[in-house]
Structure 1
Amino acid sequence: MTARVLFVCSGNLCRSPLGAQVLVARLGRDAPAFTVESAGTIAEDGAPMDEAAVAQSRRLGGSPDEHRSRYLTASIASAADLVLTAERSHRAAVVSLAPRATKRTFTIREFGRVLDALEPADLAGVASVPELIERVARLRGTVAVPSDPGEDDVDDPYRRSEATHARVADEIDRALSTVTDALRAVV
């Protein structure tokens, strides 16, 4: 059984497809163990990815050509084993649609931050993606939160400068480095 990872942002044009594509690229040979998808809280179904985000995805090894936006629904959110959102507001939207997803929904940066703060012993005995997510959810309260909660958010680069797109892509990539290592360790 493959583990389902869902990335969520607003329009499903920049951050969430970029995150999904970068995760698949980073997973490499382990990618078939996962179904990696994306959706947006205000997305219109069927739109191609933003061109500036396409360039960043390619720069980071992603494959953006087949992406088409889709609107986040309760069934999409409920089907995911792990939901990684761009912002805390997206996390709230996911939880509102699928309350049972609360413990498996994080911002991208929050999930990476919590994983970075854990000791190897904290993840001892974890042998599957559901166990990893349950353990991170349980320990998230033991990790210091940023003084500015906005540090767990990823800015929306839509219709902004190339530099903003590059900064956002690099933030997502950094967070996904830790996430990828943790996911690979349990497949």
Structure 2
Amino acid sequence: MTFSILSVCTGNICRSPVAELLIASELESLSTVKVSSAGTGALVGSGIPDQAQQLAATAGLDPSGHVARQYDMAMLREADLIVAMAREHRRIVVETFPGAMRRSFTLRELARIAAIAEPSLPDAVRGAGASSADEGMRAAVALASTLRGTVPPPASPDEFDIVDPYRRSDETYRRSFEELAPAARRVATFLRTAADIAVAS
């Protein structure tokens, strides 16, 4: 089966598509993973701004083919994991589809949980009876959900969010990318580890 990841921001032109590309790049060897993105107020049909394209290129990514799209209920129902770029996006997702609550996180929130949760992954994956990559990743998401609220919070709740760089300075684009990239890689590593444990079981 496919493990589906949906990345969500506002316009679907800066943060969420870059997160989509980073996570997809990190997980590209897992054929069962599908990564996509959408916006809560998407600039439908638009591409990624030049500043974001340039930063993505530094990570070896090519976002030139991206076309912004609006999220819908079908995307939320399909997603095994929803990574929001800010708390407001997660709130909108959960208000739209309450069933997504346990599999929706801000990207930085999930990265923070993953750093604490990874030692518990072997027991969580095996306890779930996971024997394939997608089942292992679902077990990882379930583990993260159970740990939400138990991981020490950041100094400021704003650290759960990735700053929105749209129509702002080059420095803000850099700051946004520097917040986003390590979190996306950390989440991808968490999922990959769970997938590897399941396949090896």
Identity of aligned residues (%): 35
- Uncovered stretches (5+) of structure 2, i.e. residues with no partner: 131-135, 196-201
Where structure 1 has 5 or more consecutive residues not aligned to the other structure, the ranges are: none
Q: Would you say 1:103 and 2:111 are equivalent positions?
A: no
Instruction: Indicate whether 1:43 and 2:42 are aligned.
Output: yes
| 1:16-55 → structure 2 map (5 Å cutoff) | 16-30=16-30, 32-55=31-54
**3-state DSSP of counterpart to 2:69:** coil
Q: For the Cα contact (< 8 Å) 2:8–2:85, is it kept in 1?
A: yes
Q: Within 2, Cα distance between the matches of 1:18 and 1:171?
A: 12
Matched residue, 1:159: 167
User: Is 1:7 equivalent to 2:15 in the alignment?
Assistant: no
Using a 3 Å threshold, how does the CA distance of structure 1 residues 119 and 68 change in structure 2: closer, same or farther?
closer
The structure number with the bigger radius of gyration is 2
Corresponding residue of 2:156: 148
Q: Secondary structure at the match of 1:35?
A: strand
Provide the aligned length of Structure 1 versus Structure 2: 186
Q: Determine if the alignment matches structure 1 residue 176 to structure 2 residue 184.
A: yes
Residue 77 (structure 1) aligns with: 76
Deviations 1:56-77 (A, max 9, x none): 1111122202210001112111
Task: Tell me, in whole angstroms, the C-alpha distance in 2 between the residues paired with 1:170 and 1:184.
Answer: 22
Q: 1:119 to 1:7 in 2, by over 3 A?
A: closer
C-alpha separation between the residues in 1 aligned to 2:190 and 2:88? 25
SS, match of residue 6 in structure 1: strand
Over 6 Å off, 4+ runs? none
Asked whether the 8 Å contact 2:137–2:194 carries over to 1, the reply is yes
- Give the Cα–Cα distance (whole angstroms) in 2 for the partners of residues 164 and 123 of structure 1: 39
The amino acid of 1:153's aligned partner reads D
SS in 2 for 1:158: coil
Higher mean Cα deviation, 166-175 or 5-14?
166-175
Q: Is the 8 A contact 1:9 1:87 kept in 2?
A: yes
How far apart are the structure 2 equivalents of 1:23 and 1:175? Answer: 10
Q: Is the 8 A contact 2:6 2:81 kept in 1?
A: yes
In structure 2, distance between residues paired with 1:119 and 1:151: 21
Moved more, 163-172 or 82-91: 163-172
**Aligned counterparts of 2:52 and 2:146: Cα–Cα separation in 1:** 33
TM-score (norm 1): 0.93
* Residues 21-74 of structure 1: per-residue CA shift (max 9 Å, x gap): 1111222423x3211000000003211112211111111122202210001112
Between the aligned partners of 1:73 and 1:125, the Cα distance in structure 2 is: 31
Question: Aligned residue for 2:198?
Answer: none
Aligned-partner Cα distance in 1 for 2:140–2:161 = 22
CA shift, 1:107, in A, is 0.3
**Separation in 1 of the partners of 2:28 and 2:87?**
28
Q: Does structure 1 retain, via aligned residues, the 8 Å contact 2:14–2:49?
A: yes
One-letter identity of the residue aligned with 1:114: I
Q: Which whole-Å CA distance do the structure 2 matches of 1:147 and 1:170 have between them?
A: 18
